[in-house]
Amino acid sequence: MNYLVWEIPQIGGGMLIGIISILHVFVSHFAIGGGLYLVLAERKAYRENDPAALEYVKSHSFFFVLVVLVFGAVSGVGIWWSIGLVSPAATSTLLHVFVWAWAIEWVFFAVEIVAAFVYYYGWDRLDRHTHLIVGWIYFIAAWLSLFMINGILTFMLTPGRWLMTREFWHAFWNPTAIPSLIIRTMACLALAGLYGLVTAGAIPERKLKAKMVRFAATWLLPASLVLPLAGAWYISQIPPLAREISMGDSPAVTIFAGLSIALSAVLFVFTFFGPYQRPQHFTLPFAFMLALVGLSVTGVTEWVREAVRKPYVIYGYMYSNGITRRDQEIIEHDGALQAAKWVTTREVREDNRLEVGRNLYEIQCASCHTINGFNGMRFAVKGWREEFIDFQLQHLSELKGFMPPFMGTDAERRALAAWLADLNPKVPPITEPLAQRTVPPIAVAMGGAQTADQ
Amino acid sequence: MNPLIPSPDPIPLPAPAWLLEGLLVFTLFLHLLPMSLLMGGGSLTVISEFLGRRDDRHRRLAQATARLLPVVVAFTITLGIAPLLFLQVVFGPLFFSSSILMAWPWLSIVGMMLVGYYGYYWHSFQFERLGRRAVWVTLASAALFIIIGLLFTSNMVLMLTPARWGALYKAGRSGMQLGLAEPTVLPRFLHMFVASLALSGLGIAILGAVKARADTAFGTWVRQYGLRWFVAATWLQFAVGFWFLASLPASIRSLFLGGGTVETGLLIVALSLAVISLLTIQRWLAFGTTAILGTVALMVVIRDRLRAAYLASEFDPAKLAIQPQMAIFALFVLILLCGIAAIAWMVWKFALANVPRTQQ
């Protein structure tokens, strides 16, 4: 409402953020667990006085640098870039509530980056003891950056007491912060194991390979034991509506939530009976398959976490379309066109209803919907008459609990209904038109449709 | 005030605007140092690689700088996060609006960064194997980072000129604007680019001074070669800088030409330091370097004053609501000091152990 919109044809903004985020999460959690993996594997090689194992750790660290320092860091910037473009109002909220938390996170990130470089370039320069300490600094700094981000991320679904107090610590230590931190930490360890399986699976020498494969597989065990408990704790803390959405109310979300659990189970079972029990038979394609399942778990889980937050982007504070509860009051008083900044018109007339509708679509719908692509409006209202669309708009929160209510005057709502109805060929009326029907004459509709089509 | 400028965030700033702007200026200064080495260093590496086909000294120099470029990228990105954070907190309504107008080009920076970064890694680790083809990898990466620089300049100007927004938005909501058609964008970018060549030349000179300890002839040559770039680019900067100044709107330009005491004073001191640096750097490298870093620091402050002049009637950070979170700010400062200590310790250990363990 306050900001202009960026229309992304076909996929929409949410999907764009989703693609970047899932890839980032998959790599960044590895970046954290992988740090611990490197240190412990290096220490193990020293203790067992196994130069071949040490060579493996070195080559794994090269892979680690290329994946983590480059892709992990840049894709993290990519999330920030994309949320600012797609949801500027929500991004601004997170920045204002958490400026110093972000600043602290940045310090940890900087330490992490320097430590990774010193660790990687220091293999032949530093003594063993110092090298291990640098590895520990890397892991601790990386985990602390997760610790900071986790508080901010969980705030979006469960802002808790912050809604009343506006206190920083209430926002940071919100109801899901700790269970989520446990879940993410376990995911870090599991992903470190999955990446470790890829590099260990590529070791040519059989005995070393078996040893390192089993070592890597062990890293999935803590997650398989702790995740069910931490997951139940997490779910007990999320808002009731979010729980309902993920447990039946929204079929797509429910299926994905189920997939998250099922795929995790598959991953743990296959890792246990495969690389853990029979490391000598482990192959690289199997490693890639497990990594792919891991990526899928990451993807569906993050997707569900985002989806259950609807109709809010910051629960109880800001709707998915960037309109806050406070804005809502202003809109109900003055109308959406008056309250918004980037609109092409500020009044509803008989001859500009499609233009008004288009503006309202941009302000209130376009953050989740596209016109023709993902969550496409043309498809969603196909076969609906204008009166029916208007009825739906009046009862959005009852009919579709995961959608924000329509906010605006009656005339604005009818204009949005007219614009939506105009996306498809006109549906022939079954009965005589109602007396109060407000469909504009077709000539006006065509002439007034300033930007109805993409 | 332009009616399109979004209202400030209803949540108050967690610190006075001057503190956040001060951190913005300071961290931007830190970011500009590796950023300059990245943008200019990439170009100078390309040149040395081409010259290195005939001149072995250039080949060795290119190999040395190419090895450093991935680290320089990492520092540029890491040190770039903080100023962007403070920029978004204080100037969010302007920054988000201009970014959305050029959403696709702006987002593409992330992809270009990724490809350019991998390019430098590839080049660094496969320098020998790539042979004569290596230069094309550097060229591609260097070109990507120069385009990123141009897009940054474009956005930084677009966020200061809300009067242009309406027309650009009317042209489409697809975020395809580049915002380049504004008379200050090109000189402003060239100002940054020429500065990056000068600072990279200086960086090469310092590299030469370090190399001279082990290999006097080569190190001395590198030092002289780098200084030639520094001196030539800095002289050129007087022309480019004045072009940039001339391209500014008259009311803003006059502030720096006597109209504003602070603005004019800062500019005079910055230019004097640059002249001092040019005159002394051949003889006293450390002194000349300090002087030019003073110029860079003052230029960042001048840049902040320029922004304030652009926004004078549009947006005043001092008027934003404040609700200080000083306890968390103190925690940030404490953690920052610990972070700096940890980084210093690691770098110190690394620098001390300058003999590879395998050769001991």
DSSP state string for B51-63: HTTT-HHHHHHHH
* Structural domain includes residue A187: yes
For residue B339, pLDDT over 70 is answered with yes
Tokens standing for residue A28: 């960044």
A308, A381: one domain: no
Q: Does B346 sit within 8 Å of A114, measured CB to CB?
A: yes
Q: Which residue of A has its CA nearest to B325?
A: A168
The total domain count for chain B is 1
The H or E element containing residue A319 is: strand A318-319
Structural domain of residue B249, as residue ranges? 17-316
Non-local (6+) Cβ contacts of A347 within 8 A are A337
Q: How many residues does chain A have?
A: 454
What's the pLDDT score for residue B52? Answer: 92
* Burial of B283 per CB tally in 10 Å (0-12, 13-18, 19+): exposed
pLDDT (mean) for B240-265? 95
Q: Does A2 sit within 8 Å of B107, measured CB to CB?
A: no
Tokens standing for residue B131: 């042979």
A209, A356: one domain: no
CA distance B159 to B95: 5
* Structural domain includes residue B228: yes
CA distance B273 to B251: 26
Q: In 3D, which of A166, A322, A301 has the Cα closest to residue B325?
A: A166
* Structural domain includes residue A325: no
What's the pLDDT score for residue B355? Answer: 57
DSSP 8-state class, residue A324: B
What's the pLDDT score for residue A421? Answer: 95
What's the pLDDT score for residue A427? Answer: 74
For residue A253, pLDDT over 90 is answered with no
- Chain A CB contacts of B321 under 8 Å are none
Rounded to 5°, the CA angle A335-B163-B191 comes to 140
For residue B360, pLDDT over 50 is answered with no
Of B118, B343, B350, Cβ closest to residue A111: B343
Q: Does A91 sit within 8 Å of B88, measured CB to CB?
A: yes
Radius of gyration from C-alpha coordinates of chain B:
22
pLDDT (mean) for A144-168? 96
Structural domain of residue A350, as residue ranges? 346-448
Q: Which residue of A has its CA nearest to B176?
A: A6
Non-local (6+) Cβ contacts of A175 within 8 A are A158, A160, A237
Q: In 3D, which of B124, B114, B125, B158 has the Cα closest to residue B5?
A: B158
Which of A303, A319, A335 is at the close of a domain? A319
Name the pLDDT band for A452 (thresholds 50, 70, 90).
Answer: very low
Name the pLDDT band for A433 (thresholds 50, 70, 90).
Answer: low
Task: Measure the N-to-C terminal CA separation of chain B; round to a whole number of Å.
Answer: 68
pLDDT (mean) for B204-221? 95
**Per residue in B25-70, pLDDT tens?**
999 999 999 999 999 999 999 999 999 999 999 999 999 999 999 9
Q: In 3D, which of A200, A245, A258, A305 has the Cα closest to residue A266?
A: A258
What's the pLDDT score for residue A438? Answer: 53
* Structural domain includes residue B351: no
User: Tokens 């200086």 appear where?
Assistant: B202
pLDDT (mean) for B244-272? 95
A408, A286: one domain: no
Of A66, A82, A109, Cβ closest to residue B78: A109
For residue A164, pLDDT over 90 is answered with yes
CA distance B182 to B101: 15
Q: What percent of chain B has pLDDT over 90?
A: 90
Q: Which residue of A has its CA nearest to B106?
A: A81
The total domain count for chain A is 2
- Report yes or no: B282 and B227 within 8 Å, Cβ to Cβ: yes
Q: Does A106 sit within 8 Å of B357, measured CB to CB?
A: no
Of A5, A74, A96, Cβ closest to residue B173: A5
Q: Please indicate whether residue A248 or residue A442 has the higher confidence score (pLDDT).
A: A248
The H or E element containing residue B107 is: helix B103-125
CA distance A36 to B256: 54
Name the pLDDT band for B326 (thresholds 50, 70, 90).
Answer: very high
Q: Does B100 sit within 8 Å of A4, measured CB to CB?
A: yes
The helix/strand/coil state of B322 is strand
Measure in Å the smallest separation between the Cα of B287 and chain A Cα atoms.
28
User: Tokens 């060239």 appear where?
Assistant: B190
CB-defined contacts A:B, below 8 A:
195
CA distance B19 to B108: 32
Measure in Å the smallest separation between the Cα of A165 and chain B Cα atoms.
12
CA distance B278 to A432: 87
Strand partners, A314: A318
DSSP track, A400-424: -TTSPPP-S-HHHHHHHHHHHHTTS
Q: Does A102 sit within 8 Å of B174, measured CB to CB?
A: no
For residue A449, pLDDT over 80 is answered with no
Relative orientation angle of helices A73-86 and B56-101, to the nearest 10 degrees: 20
Tokens standing for residue B29: 């200064």
CA distance A350 to A447: 12
- Chain B CB contacts of A362 under 8 Å are 173
Of A6, A75, A113, Cβ closest to residue B78: A113
Name the pLDDT band for B346 (thresholds 50, 70, 90).
Answer: very high
Non-local (6+) Cβ contacts of B251 within 8 A are B309
Q: Does B92 sit within 8 Å of A102, measured CB to CB?
A: no
pLDDT (mean) for B80-101? 97
Measure in Å the smallest separation between the Cα of B81 and chain A Cα atoms.
7
Measure in Å the smallest separation between the Cα of B155 and chain A Cα atoms.
13
**Per residue in A16-53, pLDDT tens?**
999 999 999 999 999 999 999 999 999 999 999 999 99
- Report yes or no: A315 and A156 within 8 Å, Cβ to Cβ: yes
What's the pLDDT score for residue A441? Answer: 44
For an interface test with B, the pick among A87, A119, A155, A342 (most B C-beta atoms closer than 10 Å) comes out as: A342
* Structural domain includes residue A163: yes
Measure in Å the smallest separation between the Cα of A240 and chain B Cα atoms.
27
- Chain A CB contacts of B79 under 8 Å are 110
Q: Does B88 sit within 8 Å of A92, measured CB to CB?
A: yes
**Per residue in B123-175, pLDDT tens?**
988 877 888 888 999 999 999 999 999 999 999 999 999 999 999 998 888 89
Name the pLDDT band for A432 (thresholds 50, 70, 90).
Answer: low
Tokens standing for residue A188: 């870090």
* Structural domain includes residue B272: yes
**Per residue in A374-389, pLDDT tens?**
889 999 999 999 999 9
What's the pLDDT score for residue A424? Answer: 92
For an interface test with A, the pick among B5, B7, B11, B99 (most A C-beta atoms closer than 10 Å) comes out as: B11
Q: Does B354 sit within 8 Å of A342, measured CB to CB?
A: no
A146, A54: one domain: yes
Measure in Å the smallest separation between the Cα of B280 and chain A Cα atoms.
33
Q: Does B82 sit within 8 Å of A111, measured CB to CB?
A: no
What's the pLDDT score for residue B214? Answer: 92
A95, A153: one domain: yes
- Report yes or no: B317 and B22 within 8 Å, Cβ to Cβ: no
* Structural domain includes residue B221: yes
Q: What's the CATH code of the domain at B63? A: 1.20.1630.10
Tokens standing for residue A430: 């079954």
CA distance A171 to A150: 11
Burial per residue of A341-361, b for 16 or more beta-carbon CB atoms within 10 angstroms, e otherwise? bbbbeeebeeebbbbbbbbbb
Tokens standing for residue A311: 């109709």
User: Tokens 């320092």 appear where?
Assistant: A69
Non-local (6+) Cβ contacts of A211 within 8 A are A53, A279
* Structural domain includes residue B111: yes
* Structural domain includes residue B43: yes
- Chain A CB contacts of B100 under 8 Å are 3-6, 85, 88
Q: What's the CATH code of the domain at A436? A: 1.10.760.10
DSSP 8-state class, residue A176: T
- Chain A CB contacts of B347 under 8 Å are 114, 118
Strand partners, A319: A312
What's the pLDDT score for residue A429? Answer: 64
**What is the maximum alpha-carbon separation in chain B?**
69
For residue B212, pLDDT over 70 is answered with yes
pLDDT (mean) for B345-360? 74
Estimate to the nearest angstrom the gap between the alpha carbon of A129 and the chain centroid: 39
**Per residue in A321-351, pLDDT tens?**
999 999 999 999 999 999 999 999 999 999 9
Q: Does A91 sit within 8 Å of B117, measured CB to CB?
A: no
* Structural domain includes residue B46: yes
The helix/strand/coil state of A313 is strand
CA distance A358 to A365: 10
A227, A370: one domain: no
* Structural domain includes residue A87: yes
- Report yes or no: A31 and A68 within 8 Å, Cβ to Cβ: yes
* Structural domain includes residue A334: no
A303, A350: one domain: no
Q: In 3D, which of A332, A333, A400 has the Cα closest to residue A365?
A: A400
What's the pLDDT score for residue A246? Answer: 84
DSSP track, A104-166: HHHHHHHHHHHHHHHHHHTTTTS-HHHHHHHHHHHHHHHHHHHHHHHHHHHHHH--TTHHHH-
